[in-house]
């Protein structure tokens, strides 16, 4: 019953802005001109290329981190999530500055694909780690009896991890398809720009929603195509361990080469933005002044992130349980869970205003709660997906035993289920908090006057060209996310 | 185990309770103070000190929402439209005028006043662009012999670039303006997200020449003295506009803020910080970096520029938001 309530809360948080928007917008105007169709196709190719490149880097990087480093899961998650929180635009700008002297990277699709993929690499590595960590040791041990050397990797490890890797690729596709800021930096046309242009020119919600419908359908198609892998990822074997570390000879030579190249790129991903941001701190006093001026924004952003995690994790759990246990209408449920992520952020913000700025129910309007609601509407689909995959690591036999032997459901929940799922909940909380820190489009529409998030301030300074301030604030953002991650993981992993 | 869980839950519940108190009280406290709410589509780094100065001199607390270039002013404009039935903002301070005129026509704002503005200019590297090859207008730019990949323009769909395009539609007529932008779109110039990106690419050496706003150009000159600014004959002065929202919750204080922002003290402060470079009606009121530039003569009226905006945007989307 409680899980059903949480499921309904998920639907309310994610779909209520869209419902209010549809009610306020009136009849949609769909305009599928040849130009828009060509643009949509171009966006699909672009997003596919970004996703594919990010996966090609993320998967070998994940196997490298597991096989050749002694970094704990807690450390890896904390560092990777801290990088996820940095706006992709900051990554893209940093890479653009480094690479632009080379003619091939001064602009155009190849440069855009590379820089955008590099911005998404931390997420790709995170998802790939989830994929390999879910492989049960028993299967690995059995494979070592019957297979040897590189066959284990090609015929056992990779196929078992493949569903989750594909699910991750679908998420990366979605993120790349709805972003226009990074492609615009390299003069690459993106369909999302068309939506903003439509919104800006006419101010019509119906027109903007109509313009957004094709890209939402595109993302829906990609999710539908990857649904089989998403389901397999969710329903795959449940317990896992670091099987990669025990197979030092399991990798083909070409894969070892890929691992080292990917590791180099991930290291570059860490070094490039930090170096560019750090070099912009040539005037430390200016950076320090901007950080001091942003102290209030830092506290506000931190509180928002904590609230998003606190409210979002239970809601995501409700949807994750439904996804893991559904037998009827599975495909529809997956689409329901994930499709709202394709809605442009400003439209979600307008929907929230239409929903909450009414006489009699405007208790929340004008308060920071609106920023929490905006962030939840945007990040919950990703949280549900991450939690669904993370919950695979819990042993269902223990849950069944709790159902049988515990005298009450509540005791069974607190004594068995909650400790079992705590690591998964903790990882999702960190992820939701990190994503909410970077939310911009919907936040701008609903932020209370007088308040500001760190991301809003960073984008403002980016525009002004205050690179010292941007450097200081971005490093502050990364530290905040790392601190949130470390605090949550210290609490969760110690008790798991 | 129960004790461990309680230990884990206790701090979480405390944090949630404090957060809930903070969130729900934030909307209540403000009602008892003298305050004015302003939506600001002017760079925060310029606007914030001016608003602080108003706070200190008037004793009225200013609660601001700042736009970001990534939202192209669409964010705040859409917020004002969505809140029209029950306005939250008292004043809309916009760095350009087209969206303000549109809001006026939709009865979202009750009145507005233009004030100090910026001009559209060329920012270039004299080491790469000799004077003899420097284009003097967008028309000359469309036929320049300079390498197109080294020339940058902001997408003429948002902000001051869109306003510039609308002004050209007003002065050249739709067929002439469309032909001009078609030529610009087909030349292979680097079309980027915004004026600040043009500035950064010219300053960083990735471009030799770019069309941008005078505030971006003057800011680049401060950090990179090797750069130069040149006028455009078909440029336009883009004034800010300060509008009072229709049905503003604090109309008296909105009036005070509006008067302050359009007054000489605020405009001088904005000029000193680098956002404003000139006043159309006072040629003597100019920033040093544009002192030598001619003021565009016979500029089109703000309303007639705003009239051309939507039609022009439909053309420009066809030309610039497409695969190549």
Q: What is the pLDDT of residues B60-98, one digit of tens each?
A: 999 999 887 655 556 788 889 989 999 999 999 999 899
Retrieve residue B134's tokens. 């420097």
Verify whether the Cβ–Cβ distance B324 to A189 is below 8 Å: yes
Residue A496 reports pLDDT greater than 50? no
Contact A419 B5 (CB under 8 A): yes
Interface membership of A104 toward B (CB under 8 Å): no
For residue B152, give the chain A residue with the closest CA. A187
Contact B69 A459 (CB under 8 A): yes
The Cα-based distances of A224 to A165, A286, A332, A380, A399 in angstroms read 16, 49, 9, 19, 30
Report d(CA A161, CA A131) in Å as an integer: 5
Of B64, B82, B149, Cβ closest to residue A353? B82
What global pTM score does this model have?
A: 0.84
Which residues in chain A touch residue B24, judged by CB atoms under 8 angstroms apart? 363-364, 367, 369
| Count of A-B CB contacts under 8 Å | 206
Backbone conformation region of residue A233, classed left if phi is above 0, alpha if psi is from -120 to 50, else beta:
alpha
Residue A495 to residue B22: CA distance in whole angstroms: 30
- The SS3 of residue B224 is coil
How many Å apart are CA A136 and CA A133, to the nearest integer? 8
Distance CA(A104)–CA(A114), nearest Å, equals: 11
Give the CA dihedral A350, A354, A358, A361, nearest 10 degrees. -90
Q: What is the residue-level pLDDT of chain B in tens, covering all 324 positions?
A: 455 445 545 555 555 555 555 555 444 444 446 999 999 999 888 999 999 999 999 999 999 998 876 555 567 888 899 899 999 999 999 998 998 999 999 999 999 999 988 989 999 999 999 989 999 999 999 998 999 989 999 989 888 898 899 999 998 899 999 999 999 999 989 888 788 889 988 988 889 999 999 999 998 998 899 999 998 887 788 899 999 999 999 999 999 999 999 998 999 899 999 898 887 667 677 888 888 777 666 667 888 888 888 888 888 988 988 777
Interchain pair A357, B191: CB under 8 A: no
Provide CB contacts within 8 A for B292, sequence distance 6+. none
Angle, helices A2-25 vs A369-390, to 10°: value is 130
What residues does B94 pair with on adjacent strands? B41, B241
Q: Which chain B residues are closer than 8 Å to A365 by Cβ?
A: 27, 88
Chain A interface mutation, best of B71, B156, B191, B208, highest count of A Cβ atoms under 10 Å: B71
Q: Mutate which of B11, B15, B16, B23 to disrupt the A interface (most A C-beta within 10 Å)?
A: B23
The answer to whether A369 faces chain B, any CB pair under 8 Å, is: yes
For CA atoms B78, B83, B84, B90, the dihedral sign is negative
pLDDT interval class at A243 (50, 70, 90) = low
Which residue of B2, B76, B322 is in closest CB contact with A189?
Answer: B322
Residue A346 touches partner B, C-beta closer than 8 Å: yes
Q: What CA–CA distance (Å, rounded) separates A10 from A322?
A: 11
Of the residues A115, A180, A203, A367, the best mutation for testing chain B's interface (the one with the most B CB atoms within 10 Å of its CB) is A203
In chain A, residues with a C-beta closer than 8 Å to the C-beta of B63 are: 448-450
Q: What is the DSSP string of B230-276?
A: EE-TT--EEEEEEEEETT-SSHHHHHHHHHHHHSHHHHHHHHHHTS-
Burial of A56 (0-12, 13-18, 19+ CB in 10 A): middle
Of B27, B192, B324, the CB nearest to A366: B27
Work out whether the CA dihedral A304, A308, A310, A311 comes out positive or negative.
positive
Taking an 8 Å cut-off on Cβ atoms, the answer to whether B322 and A39 are in contact is yes
Share the mean pLDDT of chain A: 79
CB contact under 8 A, B149 and A372: no
The secondary structure of residue A180, as a DSSP letter, is: -
B contacts of A353 (beta carbons < 8 Å): 79, 82-83
- Give chain A positions within 8 Å (CB) of B27: 363-367, 448
Distance from CA of B118 to the nearest CA of A (A): 15
Q: How many Å apart are CA A65 and CA B256, to the nearest integer?
A: 61
How far is C-alpha A194 from the chain's CA centre? Answer: 24
Q: Is A456 on the interface with B (CB under 8 A)?
A: yes
Alpha carbon distance A357, A485 (integer Å) = 34
Whether chain B has a CB inside 8 Å of the CB on A353: the answer is yes
pLDDT computed for residue A237 by the predictor: 46
Render pLDDT for A383-401 as a digit per residue (tens, 0 to 9): 888 787 777 666 666 666 6
CB contact under 8 A, B67 and A181: no
């Amino acid at each position: 019953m409680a899980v059903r309530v949480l499921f309904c809360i998920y639907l309310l948080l994610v779909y209520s802005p869209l419902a209010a928007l549809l009610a306020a917008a009136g009849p949609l105007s769909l305009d599928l001109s040849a130009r828009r169709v060509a643009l949509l196709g171009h966006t699909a190719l672009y997003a596919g290329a970004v996703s594919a490149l990010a996966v090609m880097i993320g998967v070998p990087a994940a196997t490298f981190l597991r096989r050749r480093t002694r970094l704990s899961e807690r450390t890896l998650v904390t560092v990777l999530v801290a990088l996820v929180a940095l706006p992709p635009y900051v990554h893209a700008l940093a890479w653009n500055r480094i690479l632009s002297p080379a003619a091939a990277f001064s602009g155009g699709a190849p440069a855009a694909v590379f820089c955008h993929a590099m911005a998404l690499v931390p997420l790709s590595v995170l998802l790939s780690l989830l994929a390999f960590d879910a492989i049960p040791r028993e299967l690995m041990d059995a494979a070592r009896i019957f297979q040897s050397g590189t066959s284990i990797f090609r015929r056992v490890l990779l196929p078992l991890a493949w569903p989750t890797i594909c699910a991750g690729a679908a998420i990366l596709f979605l993120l790349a398809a709805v972003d226009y800021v990074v492609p615009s930096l390299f003069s690459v046309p993106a369909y999302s720009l068309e939506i903003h242009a439509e919104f800006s020119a006419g101010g019509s919600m119906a027109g903007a929603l109509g313009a957004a419908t094709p890209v939402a359908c595109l993302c829906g198609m990609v999710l539908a195509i990857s649904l089989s892998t998403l389901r397999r990822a969710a329903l795959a074997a449940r317990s896992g361990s670091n099987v990669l570390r025990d197979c030092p000879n399991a990798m083909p030579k070409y894969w070892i080469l890929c691992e080292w190249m990917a590791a180099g790129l991930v290291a570059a991903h860490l070094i490039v933005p930090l170096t560019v941001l750090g070099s912009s701190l040539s005037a430390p006093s200016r950076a320090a002044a901007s950080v001091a001026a942003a102290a209030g924004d830092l506290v506000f952003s931190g509180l928002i992130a904590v609230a998003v995690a606190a409210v979002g994790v239970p809601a995501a759990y409700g949807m994750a349980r439904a996804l893991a246990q559904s037998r009827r209408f599975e495909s529809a449920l997956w689409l329901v869970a994930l499709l709202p992520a394709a809605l442009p952020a400003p439209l979600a913000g307008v929907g929230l205003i239409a929903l909450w700025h009414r006489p009699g129910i405007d208790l929340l309007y004008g308060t920071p709660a609106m920023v929490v609601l905006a962030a939840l509407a945007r990040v919950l689909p990703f949280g549900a997906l991450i939690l669904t995959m993370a919950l695979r690591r819990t042993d269902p036999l223990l849950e069944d035993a709790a159902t049988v032997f515990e005298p009450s459901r509540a005791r069974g929940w607190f004594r068995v289920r909650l400790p079992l799922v705590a690591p998964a909940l903790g990882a999702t909380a960190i992820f939701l908090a990190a994503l909410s820190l970077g939310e911009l489009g919907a936040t701008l529409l609903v932020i209370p006057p007088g308040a500001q998030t760190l991301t809003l301030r960073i984008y403002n300074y980016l525009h002004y060209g205050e690179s010292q301030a941007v450097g200081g604030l971005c490093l502050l953002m990364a530290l905040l996310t790392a601190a949130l991650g470390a605090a949550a993981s210290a609490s969760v992993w110690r008790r798991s | 185990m129960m004790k461990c869980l309680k230990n884990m839950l206790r701090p979480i519940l405390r944090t949630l309770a404090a957060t809930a108190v903070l969130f729900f009280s934030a909307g209540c406290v403000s009602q008892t103070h003298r305050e004015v709410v302003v939506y600001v589509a002017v760079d925060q780094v310029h606007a914030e000190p001016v608003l602080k100065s108003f706070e200190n001199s008037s004793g009225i607390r200013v609660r601001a929402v700042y736009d970001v270039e990534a939202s192209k002013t669409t964010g705040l404009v859409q917020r004002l439209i969505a809140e029209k039935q029950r306005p939250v903002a008292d004043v809309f301070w916009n760095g350009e005028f087209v969206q303000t005129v549109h809001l006026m026509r939709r009865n979202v704002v009750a009145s507005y006043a233009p004030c100090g503005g910026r001009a559209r200019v060329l920012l270039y590297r004299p080491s790469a662009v000799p004077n003899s090859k420097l284009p003097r207008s967008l028309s000359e730019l469309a036929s320049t012999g300079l390498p197109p990949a080294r020339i940058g323009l902001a997408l003429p769909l948002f902000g001051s670039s869109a306003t510039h395009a609308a002004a050209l539609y007003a002065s050249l007529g739709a067929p002439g303006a469309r032909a001009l932008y078609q030529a610009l779109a087909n030349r292979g110039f680097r079309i980027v997200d915004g004026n600040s990106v043009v500035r950064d690419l010219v300053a960083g050496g990735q471009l030799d020449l770019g069309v941008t706003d005078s505030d971006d150009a003057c800011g680049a000159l401060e950090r990179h003295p090797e750069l130069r600014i040149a006028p455009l004959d078909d440029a336009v002065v883009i004034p800010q506009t300060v509008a009072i929202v229709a049905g503003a919750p604090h109309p008296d204080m909105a009036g005070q803020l509006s008067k302050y922002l359009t007054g000489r003290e605020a405009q001088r402060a904005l000029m000193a910080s680098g956002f404003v470079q000139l006043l159309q009606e006072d040629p003597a009121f100019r920033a040093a970096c544009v002192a030598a530039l001619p003021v565009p003569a016979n500029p089109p009226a703000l309303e007639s520029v705003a009239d051309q905006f939507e039609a022009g945007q439909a053309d420009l989307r066809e030309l610039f938001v497409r695969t190549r």
